[in-house]
Protein backbone atom coordinates (compact mmCIF):
# COMPACT_ATOMS: atom_id res chain seq x y z
CA UNK A 1 0.00 0.00 0.00
CA UNK A 2 1.34 3.37 -0.89
CA UNK A 3 1.39 6.35 1.44
CA UNK A 4 -1.49 7.84 -0.55
CA UNK A 5 -3.67 5.02 0.72
CA UNK A 6 -2.40 4.95 4.29
CA UNK A 7 -3.91 8.29 5.19
CA UNK A 8 -5.17 9.07 8.69
CA UNK A 9 -8.69 8.73 7.29
CA UNK A 10 -8.04 5.23 5.91
CA UNK A 11 -6.28 4.14 9.09
CA UNK A 12 -9.17 5.33 11.26
CA UNK A 13 -11.74 3.58 9.07
CA UNK A 14 -9.65 0.40 9.12
CA UNK A 15 -9.27 0.60 12.90
CA UNK A 16 -13.01 1.04 13.38
CA UNK A 17 -13.69 -1.97 11.16
CA UNK A 18 -11.13 -4.12 13.00
CA UNK A 19 -12.47 -3.15 16.42
CA UNK A 20 -16.05 -3.80 15.30
CA UNK A 21 -15.07 -7.17 13.81
CA UNK A 22 -13.51 -8.20 17.11
CA UNK A 23 -16.90 -7.80 18.79
CA UNK A 24 -18.14 -10.60 16.56
CA UNK A 25 -15.92 -12.96 18.54
CA UNK A 26 -17.46 -12.09 21.90
CA UNK A 27 -21.19 -12.13 21.40
CA UNK A 28 -23.41 -14.98 22.51
CA UNK A 29 -26.58 -13.51 21.01
CA UNK A 30 -27.47 -15.20 17.70
CA UNK A 31 -27.18 -12.81 14.73
CA UNK A 32 -26.36 -9.81 16.96
CA UNK A 33 -23.10 -9.08 15.18
CA UNK A 34 -21.33 -6.15 13.53
CA UNK A 35 -20.82 -7.79 10.13
CA UNK A 36 -23.51 -5.91 8.22
CA UNK A 37 -22.53 -2.63 9.87
CA UNK A 38 -18.92 -3.22 8.85
CA UNK A 39 -19.99 -3.84 5.25
CA UNK A 40 -22.24 -0.78 5.20
CA UNK A 41 -19.60 1.45 6.80
CA UNK A 42 -16.80 0.19 4.56
CA UNK A 43 -18.89 0.69 1.46
CA UNK A 44 -19.84 4.20 2.52
CA UNK A 45 -16.43 5.49 3.59
CA UNK A 46 -13.72 3.56 1.76
CA UNK A 47 -13.60 5.66 -1.37
CA UNK A 48 -11.86 3.10 -3.59
CA UNK A 49 -14.27 0.29 -4.43
CA UNK A 50 -11.68 -2.48 -4.17
CA UNK A 51 -10.92 -1.44 -0.59
CA UNK A 52 -14.62 -0.99 0.17
CA UNK A 53 -14.97 -4.72 -0.46
CA UNK A 54 -11.51 -5.97 0.51
CA UNK A 55 -11.18 -4.53 4.02
CA UNK A 56 -14.64 -5.56 5.31
CA UNK A 57 -14.35 -8.99 3.64
CA UNK A 58 -10.93 -9.52 5.19
CA UNK A 59 -12.34 -8.70 8.64
CA UNK A 60 -15.23 -11.10 8.07
CA UNK A 61 -12.96 -13.86 6.77
CA UNK A 62 -10.49 -13.58 9.67
CA UNK A 63 -13.27 -13.77 12.24
CA UNK A 64 -14.77 -16.72 10.34
CA UNK A 65 -11.40 -18.49 10.60
CA UNK A 66 -11.75 -18.22 14.38
CA UNK A 67 -15.50 -18.84 14.68
CA UNK A 68 -15.67 -21.47 11.98
CA UNK A 69 -17.33 -21.92 8.62
CA UNK A 70 -20.54 -23.69 7.69
CA UNK A 71 -22.04 -24.96 4.46
CA UNK A 72 -24.07 -21.80 3.82
CA UNK A 73 -21.22 -19.28 4.01
CA UNK A 74 -21.80 -18.38 0.37
CA UNK A 75 -25.12 -16.81 1.40
CA UNK A 76 -23.52 -14.87 4.25
CA UNK A 77 -20.82 -13.52 1.93
CA UNK A 78 -23.36 -12.70 -0.78
CA UNK A 79 -25.50 -10.71 1.65
CA UNK A 80 -22.32 -9.02 2.89
CA UNK A 81 -21.37 -8.01 -0.67
CA UNK A 82 -24.85 -6.61 -1.29
CA UNK A 83 -24.55 -4.58 1.92
CA UNK A 84 -21.21 -3.14 0.79
CA UNK A 85 -23.08 -2.11 -2.37
CA UNK A 86 -25.71 -0.32 -0.27
CA UNK A 87 -22.90 1.53 1.51
CA UNK A 88 -21.41 2.56 -1.84
CA UNK A 89 -24.81 3.92 -2.90
CA UNK A 90 -25.00 5.92 0.35
CA UNK A 91 -21.63 7.66 -0.14
CA UNK A 92 -22.90 11.00 -1.34
CA UNK A 93 -25.72 11.23 1.19
CA UNK A 94 -24.59 9.89 4.54
CA UNK A 95 -27.18 11.12 7.03
CA UNK A 96 -28.90 9.61 10.05
CA UNK A 97 -31.86 8.46 7.96
CA UNK A 98 -29.74 6.92 5.21
CA UNK A 99 -27.64 5.05 7.78
CA UNK A 100 -30.78 3.78 9.51
CA UNK A 101 -32.28 2.83 6.15
CA UNK A 102 -29.05 1.10 5.16
CA UNK A 103 -28.97 -0.84 8.44
CA UNK A 104 -32.59 -1.96 8.06
CA UNK A 105 -31.98 -2.89 4.42
CA UNK A 106 -28.88 -4.85 5.42
CA UNK A 107 -30.80 -6.82 8.03
CA UNK A 108 -33.53 -7.60 5.49
CA UNK A 109 -31.02 -8.67 2.85
CA UNK A 110 -29.22 -10.96 5.29
CA UNK A 111 -32.52 -12.45 6.45
CA UNK A 112 -33.84 -13.02 2.91
CA UNK A 113 -30.61 -14.31 1.35
CA UNK A 114 -29.45 -16.61 4.13
CA UNK A 115 -32.86 -18.11 4.82
CA UNK A 116 -33.46 -18.62 1.11
CA UNK A 117 -30.18 -20.57 1.08
CA UNK A 118 -31.36 -22.64 4.06
CA UNK A 119 -34.61 -23.43 2.24
CA UNK A 120 -32.83 -24.19 -1.02
CA UNK A 121 -30.04 -26.41 0.29
CA UNK A 122 -31.43 -28.28 3.29
CA UNK A 123 -34.07 -31.01 3.58
CA UNK A 124 -35.92 -29.24 6.40
CA UNK A 125 -38.52 -27.51 4.21
CA UNK A 126 -40.58 -28.53 1.20
CA UNK A 127 -39.27 -27.09 -2.04
CA UNK A 128 -42.31 -24.99 -2.79
CA UNK A 129 -43.65 -21.59 -1.80
CA UNK A 130 -45.18 -23.02 1.38
CA UNK A 131 -41.81 -24.45 2.43
CA UNK A 132 -40.06 -21.16 1.68
CA UNK A 133 -42.59 -19.20 3.74
CA UNK A 134 -42.26 -21.73 6.56
CA UNK A 135 -38.49 -21.28 6.48
CA UNK A 136 -38.81 -17.51 6.69
CA UNK A 137 -41.39 -17.80 9.47
CA UNK A 138 -39.14 -20.06 11.53
CA UNK A 139 -36.29 -17.56 11.17
CA UNK A 140 -38.24 -14.52 12.42
CA UNK A 141 -36.99 -14.88 16.02
CA UNK A 142 -33.43 -14.43 14.73
CA UNK A 143 -34.33 -11.43 12.56
CA UNK A 144 -34.89 -9.03 15.43
CA UNK A 145 -31.41 -9.79 16.82
CA UNK A 146 -29.89 -9.10 13.42
CA UNK A 147 -31.84 -5.89 13.00
CA UNK A 148 -30.94 -4.63 16.48
CA UNK A 149 -27.29 -5.53 15.95
CA UNK A 150 -27.18 -3.81 12.57
CA UNK A 151 -28.81 -0.67 13.99
CA UNK A 152 -26.55 -0.55 17.04
CA UNK A 153 -23.25 -1.29 15.31
CA UNK A 154 -24.06 1.01 12.37
CA UNK A 155 -24.85 3.80 14.82
CA UNK A 156 -21.56 3.22 16.64
CA UNK A 157 -19.42 3.04 13.49
CA UNK A 158 -20.97 5.94 11.62
CA UNK A 159 -21.34 7.99 14.79
CA UNK A 160 -17.72 7.40 15.84
CA UNK A 161 -16.47 8.50 12.45
CA UNK A 162 -18.75 11.54 12.46
CA UNK A 163 -17.45 12.70 15.84
CA UNK A 164 -13.84 11.96 14.84
CA UNK A 165 -14.31 14.23 11.80
CA UNK A 166 -15.61 16.98 14.07
CA UNK A 167 -12.57 16.64 16.34
CA UNK A 168 -10.09 16.25 13.47
CA UNK A 169 -11.24 18.34 10.48
CA UNK A 170 -8.51 16.89 8.27
CA UNK A 171 -10.54 13.66 8.13
CA UNK A 172 -13.44 15.58 6.61
CA UNK A 173 -11.23 17.48 4.19
CA UNK A 174 -9.96 14.24 2.69
CA UNK A 175 -13.49 13.35 1.66
CA UNK A 176 -13.45 15.96 -1.10
CA UNK A 177 -10.62 13.98 -2.78
CA UNK A 178 -12.88 11.02 -3.64
Q: pLDDT of the chain along its 178 residues, tens only?
A: 455 778 889 999 999 999 999 999 988 888 899 999 999 999 999 989 999 999 999 999 999 999 999 999 999 999 999 999 999 999 999 999 999 999 999 999 999 999 999 999 999 999 999 999 999 999 998 899 999 999 999 999 999 999 999 999 888 755 444 4
In a domain, 177, yes or no: no
Q: Angle formed by the axes of helices 8-23 and 49-67, to 10°?
A: 30
Q: What is the number of other CB atoms lying within 10 angstroms of the CB of residue 13?
A: 24
In a domain, 1, yes or no: no
Backbone dihedral angles phi then psi of residue 7, each to the nearest 5 degrees: -85, 160
In the chain, how many domains are there?
1
In a domain, 2, yes or no: no
In a domain, 32, yes or no: yes
pTM: 0.90
The domain of 45 spans: 8-172
Consecutive H or E run containing 72? none
In a domain, 123, yes or no: yes
In a domain, 91, yes or no: yes
Q: Angle formed by the axes of helices 49-67 and 35-45, to 10°?
A: 160
| Distance, CA of 28 to CA of 46 (rounded, Å) | 29
| Distance, CA of 116 to CA of 106 (rounded, Å) | 15
Amino acid sequence: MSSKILTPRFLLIAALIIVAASFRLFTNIPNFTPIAAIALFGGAYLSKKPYAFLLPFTALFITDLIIGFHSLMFAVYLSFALTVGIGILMRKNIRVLTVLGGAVSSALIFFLVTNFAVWLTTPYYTKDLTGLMHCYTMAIPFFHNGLLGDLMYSSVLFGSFYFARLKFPSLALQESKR
